[in-house]
A and B are shown apart, each in its own frame.
Chain A
Amino acid sequence: MSPITIALPKGRMAEDALAWLTRAGWSRPMAEDARKLVVPSEDGQLEYLLVKPMDVPVFVEQGAADIGIAGLDAVRERAADVYEPLLLPFGHCRLSVAAPANRPNRPLRLEISPRVATKYPHLAEQYFRGRGISAEFIYLNGSVELGPLVDMADLIVDIIQTGSTLRANNLVELRVIMQSQAVLIVNRASFRMHAEAIQPLLRSLRASLTAASPSN
């Protein structure tokens, strides 16, 4: 049978993810050339893909990967139609609206066509339109905080972990759009077509999460 394919987000979250998967007894990726994007697991039963965090939900929805580990923010932003059987205890952050610290203190709903810089055009638009605000969205791929500093944007919608980046750029958090953390996602067809391989993986991961959770 072909191996089960797992999409991992490149970067910091991949390390946390691998630590948890290893603890649950999943076979680790072989140590290979770090530039390789497709890496078989040591026992050959799994195959790991390293992709951009925001793309993990796409790989899984399309079935290029059976399983993925992604931020909830990415899953919602890409509106991925996948199963989300397990929340994972890392990657905690929130998606928020922030503004320059010197913005006059008035409700967002009084804004007329604010310019909003963001990496999350879908969620940002949903949030503003849902409140009847017709914002103008400026899609950026990074350094979103720069938007207000160079007067390209009035507000930003971005991920906040500790808030230190915001403070460093003289921005303040106004509203939380959503709380996010890592989540394990599964392709809807794979969940059924490969149930006999995927269910044990989910069970072992769920068991090790329960064992580690402070409430037990």
Chain B
Amino acid sequence: MPPSIPRGVADYFGGPAQRRRQLESTLRNLSHAWGYEEIIPPIFEYADMLLTELGDQTAEELYRFFDRDGRVLALRPDLTVPTARIVGSKLYDLPLPQRYFYAGPVFRYEEPRAGRQREFWQAGVELIGVSTPDADAEVLALAALALQAIGLETFRFSLGHLGYFHGLLSRLRLDDQAVDALQKALDRKSEDEVRALTEAWGLRDQDREAVLGLLSLFGPQGDGVLARARALALNQQMRAAVDRLVAVEEQLDRFGVKRFFDIDLADVRAMNYYTGITFKAYTPGIGFSVVNGGRYDNLVGEFGADLPAVGCAFYLDRILLAQIRQFGPPPDPIPQLLVLPCACGEHVSLAQEARTAGWVTAMALGPEPLSRYPLRVQCKCDGQVSLTDAGASRLVSRESWVQALPPLASPPPSTFF
């Protein structure tokens, strides 16, 4: 019997393992090019640190355990809260804005399904210390350009603003249970459910119209969604949310990525800590968002300095799955060049020379099936080496053999970035 593994974890190897690292490094390189530098929080922390008042919705999903002093530790359920802790408590007086990139595994105890394991990989960026629409747009544009750089051809973002919903709630004065029910119904986009709720609460006409109207505030930019949203707005908070989205849109246009964004003001399922814009990205092949993000102006302050922030996380496993469904499984990595042993021992030098020249080179140790390696080289111990390329062999000079190799095909990572 092979050893079993717990629910919700997966072994990665071969092409998918390589592809997942490539995804990560593409995102890291792109973020670096935008001035985002790596931050590496610990994998576990004190549970109460991860359970701020603003982040408590993940409480049930937290992997918790005791340390030897009996204190409760937890595996991180995302990387935004640890980043906020580090910045709020340690880095608050460094020059602003601060831009961070992170990547690593996170853990949530939820029912595993396609692309949703209990251990999964996130990469993400956080932009801290600026509350302007331009900061929102920077993160949004980075996210859209990152999905392009990763090689996804079709994807769409939905962009909302929690201020619009919160403004509406402040007007309705519902209790927590009612808010929860409304949020669920909006998340399902169930018009009947939303209508039933508004009727049960006996809302006034104008309020009811605004609640029901939320579901129609969806569509591509330039579709008049924001104009309709402004017409339905009942107070300053709701109008401010619309103004913000208009300003963000203008900046997205300058980045040339506006066409990727739909407005959706009924998308109210988000982490509790979000305060402003929220967004999600979708791509064919997977029914959940592959990027989640938004503005969280109160979270850093939970840990010390009150700093506005905006950021997003890429779900690497989901992106990988979507890529596999769209383009087929990634090929297993095979060394580009195989060096066969020879009597004089020169083969060790041959391998090193090829590696220096940029070839992914393996030295044959015995069990290799030769047909797996289309390009092979063997020292003849007489100043010549034999080069086999797709079945055809020829002799070339030992001195200039590397130049005699076919042009070096770019390694897979460059196809992504």
Q: Report which A residues bind B (CB closer than 8 A).
A: 60-63, 79, 81-87, 183, 186-193, 195, 206
Q: With CB as the reference atom, state the residue of chain B lying closest to A186.
A: B189
Q: Is the CB of A192 within 8 A of B262?
A: yes
Q: Do A83 and B283 touch (CB < 8 A)? A: no
A86 to B111, CA, bound (A): 26
Determine whether the beta carbon of A189 is less than 8 Å from that of B287.
yes
B192 at interface by CB-CB < 8 Å:
yes
Contact A81 B288 (CB under 8 A): yes
Q: Is B286 an interface residue (CB 8 A)?
A: yes
On chain B, the residues within 8 Å of A84 by CB distance are 188-190, 193
Q: Which residue of B lies closest to A184 (CB)?
A: B190
- When chains A and B are docked, how far (Å) is the Cα of A213 from the Cα of B129? 53
Number of interface residues of B (CB under 8 A): 24
Q: What is the interface of chain B mostly: helix, strand, loop, or mixed?
A: loop
The interface residues of chain A lying within 8 Å CB-to-CB of B219 are 195
Within 8 Å of chain A (Cβ to Cβ): is B156?
A: yes
A-B contact list, 26 entries, CB within 8 Å? A61-B113, A61-B287, A62-B114, A63-B286, A79-B111, A81-B288, A82-B287, A83-B190, A84-B189, A85-B191, A87-B190, A87-B192, A87-B193, A188-B282, A188-B287, A188-B288, A188-B289, A189-B284, A189-B288, A192-B282, A193-B154, A193-B156, A193-B282, A193-B283, A193-B284, A195-B219
Interface of A is mostly: mixed
Interface residues of B (CB under 8 A from A): 111, 113-114, 154, 156, 158, 188-193, 215, 219-220, 262, 282-289
- Contacts A62-B114, A63-B287, A195-B220 hold; do A189 and B282 have CB atoms under 8 A apart? yes
Residue from the list A63, A86, A188, A206 in contact with B285, Cβ < 8 A: A63
Cα distance A87–B283 in the bound complex, in angstroms: 26
State the CA gap A192–B155 with chains docked (Å).
Answer: 9
Query: Once bound together, how far apart are the Cα atoms of A57 and B285, in whole Å?
Result: 16
**B189, B220, B288: the one within 8 Å of A85 (CB):** B189
Chain A residues near B262 (CB, 8 Å)? 192, 195
| Residues of the A chain whose Cβ atoms lie less than 8 Å from the Cβ of B283 | 189, 193
Report the separation of the CA atoms of residues A183 and B191 in the bound assembly, to the nearest whole angstrom. 11
